[in-house]
Structure 1
Amino acid sequence: MRTNTVHKRAYNQCLAVLAARPLGPWCTSEAELSDALEVSRTTVRGVLAGLAAAGLIGTEGARRHLLRHPVPGDYFPGLETETVAEAVERKFMQWVLQGDCRPGQMVNTSELARLFGVSTTAVREYLTRFSQFGLLKRRENSGWIFAGVTPDFAAEIYEIREMFELRSARRFVELAPDSPAWAELASIEREHHALLSEIDARYQDFSRLDERLHRLIHDASRNRFIRDFYDVISIIFHYHYQWDKSDEKERNRVALMEHLDYIAALRSRDLRLIDLRCRAHLRTARATLLRSIAGGPLGGAPARLHGPDAEAAEAHLPAG
């Protein structure tokens, strides 16, 4: 199953690359694809065979040609490309919201494993990663307590997130023009426009798109600590602040517009503009989080940031 997941992920990544290429000769070698997709050559050969069977590429001797661009039906569904760890992460985040999880609530690994359809080991490994950040607290009897997010905790996380994302964004623009990351960025940009055109009916679809964009940027850091930390960022910013549903459609529309500005800045490779767009978007995300915490199960007044961006950040906090 693990091999199958790797194949499907690599296949989807390759489709994203082909979507950004013109029809005609495709001279990328197996070795180059292996490096770009971070998989073995055996997996690359399987991907190429699948592309040929789907009529996407053809061969003429040793040469390959792109015969048509991929369409949505060519991609494997996202759930089929998840690793076990990613599946646990997604299901835990959904459980935090849909299960009405509140600070102080007991978290039972055996029950979660049964609910998620995975091993207790997979759940335990996932929960252990969060315990070091204070989101979960271990009990002596091996159980866990969901600690929740306080305004001070959110302010600290924001400062780290800003540092990590700015660093990752700078690394992103250093990627080669033919990197699969640029093709994935183009795909994400198209999905942003599609979602904006149907925002009234699909505004709740923003969550997954938001995660795809920010995870893509963080992955460009090629830093395992930054990549791992995004899991904590995701559950706090991307899911926890959704306790407040009062203006979800409007704030998702605003975030989509900010994303498009951010993507345009990345394409420009202008570091000053990237810095500006990134900080502006993260300030909005922080304001939403703090407002939701203030009106959520913990309540309390928003915490203040420290440093040169403190005033600008506070200026973006919604009234009340």
Structure 2
Amino acid sequence: MKANTVYKRAHNRCLALLRQRELGKPLGSEAELAQSLAVSRTTVRAVLAALQSSGILAPDGAKRCLLRHPTAEEFFPEPQTEAVADLVERKFLNWVLVGDCRPGQSINASELARQFGTSTTAIREYLTHFRHYGLLERRPNSRWIFKGITRDFAAEIYEIREIFELRSARRFAELPPEALPWTELAEIERQHHALLGEIEARYSDFSQLDERLHRLIHGASCNRFIQDFYQLIAMIFHYHYQWNKADEKERNTVAIHEHLAYIAALRSRDWRAIDSTCRAHLRTARATLLRSIEVGPLG
């Protein structure tokens, strides 16, 4: 199951990369593609074989020229490409937000496993990760207590987030032009503009877009500790501060413009612009989080 998920995710990422390529242009070597897709060469070979079979790539030895661009129907549905750990993370964070999980609330791992359609072991592994940071406290009988976030905790986590994100942003700007993350960044930028055009009705959709952008940037670090730390970032900055719904549309509109400036800076590869736009956006996120902690949950 795990290998199948990895294959499908690599297949989709490869299709997204090919959408940006000119017809007749060689795809490159297996080693280069494996690096771009962050998978093994064995997985790359399986993906290439499927693309050649469907007529997207020509079976032209090592060159494998692009014969046609892939269609939307040739992508695997997103749920099929999601790893178990990612599925648990997404569903848990959504549960925290939509379910209005508050400090002191009890969490039952077995109940969450049934609700999420996954194993209790996967839930426990995920919850244990946050236990190390003091956000959760384990109790007998598969129960946990959500302890919440204090101002001091928020200040500490912001300081580390700034260090890690600036480092990741620098690595992102150093990626070669043909690297897949640039294609993903372009799609995220497009979705920012689309959301801005429908902000009156869709302003609450911003949190998922926010998470996608920052996760993409952190991924460029190629550092397992930075990427693992991002789970904590998602819990705090992308969900917790939304308990305060006051002026949510205005806050999200500001954040969208900050994101677009940040994306433009990444494209420019100008480190001063990247540093400036990144710090400005993170300061806004920190202020929003601290205000939410002070005011408390509002409907």
TM-score (norm 1): 0.86
Is 1:88 the counterpart of 2:88? The answer is yes
Compute the displacement of 1:198 (Å).
2.3
Question: Which residue in 2 is equivalent to 1:50?
Answer: 50
User: Aligned to 1:25, what secondary structure does the other structure show?
Assistant: coil
- How far apart, in 2, do the equivalents of 1:243 and 1:71 lie? 39
- How far apart, in 1, do the equivalents of 2:230 and 2:85 lie? 14
Q: Give the length in aligned residue pairs.
A: 298
Contact 2:34 2:44 (C-alpha < 8 Å) held by counterparts? yes
Question: Which residue in 2 is equivalent to 1:78?
Answer: 78
Question: Which residue in 2 is equivalent to 1:6?
Answer: 6
Compute the displacement of 1:122 (Å).
0.5
- How far apart, in 2, do the equivalents of 1:268 and 1:159 lie? 26
- How far apart, in 1, do the equivalents of 2:162 and 2:270 lie? 18
- How far apart, in 2, do the equivalents of 1:55 and 1:252 lie? 43
- How far apart, in 2, do the equivalents of 1:157 and 1:57 lie? 46
User: Aligned to 1:66, what secondary structure does the other structure show?
Assistant: coil
Compute the displacement of 1:142 (Å).
5.2
Compute the displacement of 1:71 (Å).
5.0
Is 1:125 the counterpart of 2:125? The answer is yes
Question: Which residue in 1 is equivalent to 2:145?
Answer: 145
> What residue identity is the alignment partner of 1:195?
L
Farther-moved stretch of structure 1 (181-190 vs 217-226): 181-190
Question: Which residue in 1 is equivalent to 2:177?
Answer: 177
Contact 1:103 1:297 (C-alpha < 8 Å) held by counterparts? no
- How far apart, in 2, do the equivalents of 1:77 and 1:245 lie? 32
Compute the displacement of 1:60 (Å).
4.5
Residues 27 and 115 (structure 1), Cα distance of their counterparts in 2 relative to 1, 3 Å cut: closer
Compute the displacement of 1:297 (Å).
4.5
Residues 260 and 42 (structure 1), Cα distance of their counterparts in 2 relative to 1, 3 Å cut: same
Alignment map for 1:243-262 (pairs within 5 Å): 243-262=243-262
Residues 54 and 109 (structure 1), Cα distance of their counterparts in 2 relative to 1, 3 Å cut: same
Structure 1: gaps of 5 or more residues: 299-320
- How far apart, in 1, do the equivalents of 2:76 and 2:209 lie? 16
Question: Which residue in 1 is equivalent to 2:135?
Answer: 135
> What residue identity is the alignment partner of 1:219?
G
User: Aligned to 1:107, what secondary structure does the other structure show?
Assistant: strand
User: Aligned to 2:58, what secondary structure does the other structure show?
Assistant: strand
User: Aligned to 1:100, what secondary structure does the other structure show?
Assistant: coil
Compute the displacement of 1:202 (Å).
2.5
Contact 1:165 1:217 (C-alpha < 8 Å) held by counterparts? yes
> What residue identity is the alignment partner of 1:44?
V
User: Aligned to 1:242, what secondary structure does the other structure show?
Assistant: helix
Compute the displacement of 1:141 (Å).
5.5
- How far apart, in 2, do the equivalents of 1:164 and 1:200 lie? 33
Question: Which residue in 2 is equivalent to 1:155?
Answer: 155
> What residue identity is the alignment partner of 1:41?
R
Question: Which residue in 1 is equivalent to 2:19?
Answer: 19
Alignment map for 1:36-47 (pairs within 5 Å): 36-47=36-47
Farther-moved stretch of structure 1 (251-260 vs 133-142): 133-142
- How far apart, in 1, do the equivalents of 2:295 and 2:55 lie? 53
Per-residue Cα deviation, 1:93-147 (whole angstroms, up to 9, x for no partner): 1111222211001111111111111111111110011011111112356531100
User: Aligned to 1:58, what secondary structure does the other structure show?
Assistant: coil
Question: Which residue in 2 is equivalent to 1:313?
Answer: none
Question: Which residue in 2 is equivalent to 1:66?
Answer: 66
TM-score (norm 2): 0.92
Alignment map for 1:101-116 (pairs within 5 Å): 101-116=101-116
Farther-moved stretch of structure 1 (61-70 vs 110-119): 61-70
- How far apart, in 1, do the equivalents of 2:255 and 2:77 lie? 25
> What residue identity is the alignment partner of 1:265?
A
Farther-moved stretch of structure 1 (73-82 vs 2-11): 73-82
